[in-house]
Chains A and B, each alone.
Chain A
Amino acid sequence: MAIDSTKIIHAVMEGSRVRESKGIMPHFGVYLSLFSVQYYNRLSFDFEKIIGPHRAAEAQDLLIKTAQECGYATFQGIRNSWEWDEIVKPMIVRKDDQIMGFAAVAVAFGWGDLKVEALVPNEKLVIRVSDSYEASGYLKDYGYAVSAKCYMLRGVAGAFMDLVYGEAYPEGCFSFVAKEPLCRAKGDSYCEFIARKSPY
């Protein structure tokens, strides 16, 4: 059975309208929050700016690792949740289908229109996004970039592979590493993320 993204999006939207009396939103095995993409973009891009151009690579690395570690914990929580068992698991036939399920949840979370373009099990994942909030936010506030800017999605692409093909949780984080050779923020027509096994 193919992954039904619409069903997953619907489930996330319904769930995100339900919260308990303390204003906390426990859903899909994690505590969710809804907040402006402007906040997340400002944090990332001003962090880079403050740290300075001489340490730009370090800033990017920290942001990608932060996202990968988060993606690893988040999607582990998600795939162990009752919502995943009820909604997504029945659509999963092969282990690889989990990646499609993760991508559908990321779309439901408003991170962009993720499409899995290619998946070579245990080797390579290619995801394309024509409207990531990171690239759109960068373009809007800063104009064209000289390097790719979707740090969150880059970390998340690595985390998807870590969870499915890395060692059992929690040992498998950073087994894979993703690059973003194409990014709308630098004038490409879409963002592309390629995750492969980490050489380290």
Chain B
Amino acid sequence: MVTFDWKRELDRRDHQVVLSGQPIAIHCHHYNINLQKTLEDTLGEEGIRLLYKSAEEAIYNDLTVLLEQYRELRTVKSKLEMASIVYQNCGLGIIHPQQVRSSGGYIISPSSHHVTGWLAKHGKRDTPGCHFPRGWIAGALAVIFSKPIGHYKVAEKKCKMMRDEECVFYVEEC
């Protein structure tokens, strides 16, 4: 069993905070949700696409670097577990992959930073709002299944921001 040493992975390089050597920033729900609202209000669908693509690209790069350091993780199951641990340890919430294969599948999220933040600041939405988690899942699965970035499309079928019981993401190949 591979041990993911979070204390070692999350560190400082002078004034930078690094996760597995990659620079990260600690931000709170006020900033993350304000950014989302600004982009959605100003750009509409294009803003939503930007939130999705930016999360997809960033996690694609970071998870690629991380998995290179844990080469003993060979099975899809162990890589999915690693991705879920990273998601949780980054304070982003909980994700449970449901029979995810290279062709796609479902991911359920009973808890999420973006949901908690959105509901705290703006209350219930009428449309699904987990654009960041959708992009994150698309990028992470592309790394796990050794596919190029943009290979997966992730749609949110249920969203806690709309007061559904959990967020449900449907993943399919583009």
Contacts and interface: CB of A to CB of B under 8 A. Distances in A.
A43 B51 contact: yes
A48 B100 CA distance: 36
Interface residues of B, number: 53
A50 B40 CA distance: 13
Interface in A68-117: 69-71, 73-74, 77, 107-113
B173 to A, nearest CB: 24
Given A42-B57, A51-B43, A77 B92 contact: no
A67 B17 CA distance: 20
Nearest to B22: A36
A53 interface: no
B47 to A, nearest CB: 8
Contacts of B102: none
A31 B28 contact: yes
Given A62-B38, A73-B30, A74-B30, A35 B12 contact: no
A35 B28 contact: no
Nearest to B33: A70
Chain B interface, >50% SS class: helix
A17 B10 contact: yes
B6 interface: yes
A9 B12 contact: yes
A22 B93 contact: yes
User: Most chain-B Cβ atoms within 10 A of its Cβ — which of A17, A35, A110, A152?
Assistant: A35
B76 interface: no
A66 interface: yes
A140 to B, nearest CB: 10
Contact of B31 (A23, A67, A112, A133): A67
A200 interface: no
Interface stretch (B67-75, B83-91, B146-154): B83-91
B58 A39 contact: yes
Given A46-B50, A70-B34, A31 B16 contact: no
Interface string B29-54: 11110110011001100110011011
A111 B120 CA distance: 24
A38 B34 contact: no
A110 B43 contact: no
Interface in B113-151: 113, 116-117, 120
A12 B92 CA distance: 17
22 contacts: A13-B10, A16-B26, A16-B91, A19-B89, A32-B26, A32-B27, A33-B26, A33-B27, A33-B92, A33-B113, A35-B24, A46-B54, A47-B43, A50-B46, A63-B38, A66-B34, A70-B31, A74-B28, A74-B30, A110-B17, A110-B26, A111-B25
Interface of B: 6-7, 10, 12, 14-17, 19, 22-32, 34-35, 38-39, 42-43, 46-47, 50-51, 53-55, 57-59, 61-62, 87-94, 110-113, 116-117, 120
Instruction: Across the A-B interface, give the 10 residue pairs with the lowest CB-CB distance, nearest first.
Output: A25-B91, A110-B17, A22-B111, A30-B28, A23-B88, A39-B58, A113-B15, A36-B58, A109-B26, A70-B31
